[in-house]
């Protein structure tokens, strides 16, 4: 069997360095005394000592009469409660019945005022008055619209563009509708059976023209103000 020639030197180094790792040396920290052990509730916060109540403080006066107090005797009232009640019943106004509503067969009654069926909001002072934030928003929208129109006019002056008048706009719209009618009439004259390529191409061309005319008509009807460039 093979034996390494370095075996004795390895053993010697292991035995030499083994004793150095056995201990870290004597403890240099002060060992606590066994008398100073942790006691029960020693880490809980201590409350201050309770002070005795001072005897000089007076008790609050009671609204109940004392046991030693005697009632006042011999006081009589000359008030005629019968006549007073009769006069109050004659001159007093009758109570108005509270409005109620019944919502079941058994006749369960509930107050109508608290039901939400009475329109109390019409009695408010500001009922029907436009809120302040709505008027402010409208004014702001008008101001922004004026600024936008002024900027557009300035831009048009720079680019030499003009606004299309109402008569020109109506004429342009009528012309587009007339062209659409002509294309549609031509589309209706197509044969029912389209079996050749030229017929198919002609049909697609008419459909594209109709679609473009419908788009142009919709755009002109949607926008009242139209700008065109001067050529």
Torsion, Cα 127 132 135 140, to 10 degrees, reads -160
Place of tokens 């056995």: 22
Domain boundaries, the chain: 101-160, 161-230
pLDDT range class, residue 1, cuts 50, 70, 90: confident
Model confidence pLDDT, tens digit, residues 2-16: 889 999 998 888 777
pLDDT range class, residue 141, cuts 50, 70, 90: very high
Quote the pTM value.
Answer: 0.33
């Amino acid at each position: 069997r093979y034996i390494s020639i370095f075996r004795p030197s390895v053993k010697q180094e292991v035995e030499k360095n083994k004793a150095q790792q056995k201990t870290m040396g004597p403890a240099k920290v002060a060992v606590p005394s066994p008398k100073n052990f942790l006691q029960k509730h020693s880490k809980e916060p201590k409350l201050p000592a309770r002070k005795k109540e001072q005897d000089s403080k007076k008790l609050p006066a009671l609204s109940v009469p004392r046991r030693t107090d005697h009632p006042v005797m011999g006081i009589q009232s000359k008030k005629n409660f019968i006549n007073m009640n009769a006069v109050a019943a004659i001159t007093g106004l009758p109570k108005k019945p509270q409005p109620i509503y019944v919502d079941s067969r058994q006749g369960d009654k509930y107050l109508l005022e608290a039901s939400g069926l009475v329109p109390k909001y019409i009695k408010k002072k500001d009922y029907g008055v436009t809120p302040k934030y709505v008027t402010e928003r409208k004014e702001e929208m008008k101001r922004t619209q004026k600024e936008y129109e002024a900027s557009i006019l300035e831009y048009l002056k720079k680019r030499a563009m003009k606004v299309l008048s109402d008569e020109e706009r109506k004429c342009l719209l009528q012309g587009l509708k007339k062209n659409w009618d002509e294309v549609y009439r031509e589309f209706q004259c197509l044969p029912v059976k389209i079996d050749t390529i030229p017929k198919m191409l002609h049909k697609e061309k008419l459909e594209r023209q109709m679609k473009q005319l419908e788009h142009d008509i919709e755009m002109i009807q949607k926008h009242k103000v139209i700008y065109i460039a001067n050529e």
